[in-house]
Amino acid sequence: MPTSSLTPLVWSWIEGWIVSRGAADPEPEPWGWSIDVGIFTQAARHVVVDGDEATVRGLAADRAAPGRWLKVFLPRVSTAHDAPNAAEDIVAPWLAPGWTLGHPGFLMTTELRHTPVDVPEGHRLRTWTRGGVTRVAVTAPDGALAARGQIAPTGGTAVADQIRTSPLHRRKGLGSVVMRALHREALERGAHTGVLVGTVEGRALYEALGWRTHAPMVSASYDSP
C-alpha cells in the first residue's frame, strides 16, 4: 500500500465505493488497490495513488485486458493548473495502445452538515436504504425521474456516488436537493465526512456546497489495440 498523504482519502473513497457498487474486497498493491467489480463493462479496476510514469506504464502493459480500468490519482502539485484536461495530458503518453481515457475526475471531501432540503413545488423526494446504501430520488410533477444519487456510510465517512440529474431537468437546483438529502441521511447514520470523486460538471455543484478538491483522477479503460 502506498505511503502517501492521499492514501487515507483514497481508501475512504474505495471503502464506500465498493459498498455502493457491490464490488469485491480491495486487494492491496504496492501502488494502491485492485478491485474486482464483476461486470462486462468493468471487470476490475486498479486504483493508483500518486501515479507516476513507471507505475502507470507497467500497469498499462500488465493489466491490458477487456473490461479493465485504471483510476490514477495524481498529486495536485503535479498539475500546473486546474484545467479539466491537465491531468489527462500528463497520463495519456504513459498509456499503451488499446487504452482509452475516460472522463476527468476530482477527489473531494466535505464536513457533513444539516442544511434545509427544499424540494421544488410539484416535485417529490424519496429516500430508502438497502444493503448499507441510501438512495435518493427526485421525481418531476409528471412522475419522471428528474435527479438521483446514493451514499454509502462506512463509519465516520460516507461516499456519495452516481449523482445524476436528467438533462431535461437541469438548472432547477435538483442536484443540490439530492446532495443535501444525502448529507442528512449520512449524518443520521453516524458519518461526519463526505467523500466523492466528481466529474468536471459536478465539481462546480459540490464546491458550491462546500466540498474541497484534493487531487485529480484520470480514468482509462482497455478495449483492444
The tens digit of pLDDT for each residue in 106-121 reads 999 999 999 999 999 9
Flag whether 58 is in a domain: yes
Burial of 62 (0-12, 13-18, 19+ CB in 10 A): exposed
Domain annotation covers residue 206: no
Q: What is the mean pLDDT of residues 26-35?
A: 98
State the residue for C-alpha cell 500497469. 59
- Asked whether residue 42 is domain-assigned, the answer is yes
**Pair type for strands 193-198 and 133-139:** unpaired
Q: Are residues 12 and 102 in the same domain?
A: yes
Instruction: Indicate whether 100 and 153 sit together in one domain.
Output: no
Domain carrying residue 55: 7-106+215-222
Domain containing residue 183: CATH number = 3.40.630.30
Burial class for 71, CB neighbours closer than 10 Å (0-12, 13-18, 19+): buried
Label residue 75 by pLDDT band (50, 70, 90).
confident
126 contacts: CB under 8 Å, gap ≥ 6: 136, 137, 138, 139
- What is the pLDDT at residue 94? 98
**What's the pLDDT score for residue 3?**
72
Q: What is the pLDDT at residue 225?
A: 60
If pLDDT is split at 50, 70 and 90, which confidence band does 80 have? very low
Domain count for the chain: 2
Residue in the structure block whose three cell numbers are 474541497: 212
Residues 41 and 79 in one domain: yes
Q: Are residues 91 and 123 in the same domain?
A: no
**How does pLDDT run across 138-194, given as a tens digit for each residue?**
999 999 999 999 999 999 999 999 999 999 999 999 999 999 999 999 999 999 999
Q: State residue 5's pLDDT score.
A: 87
Q: Is residue 25 part of a domain?
A: yes
- Is residue 79 over pLDDT 60? no
Give yes or no for residue 2 having a pLDDT over 80: no
The closest of 137, 144, 179 to 159, measured between CA atoms, is 179
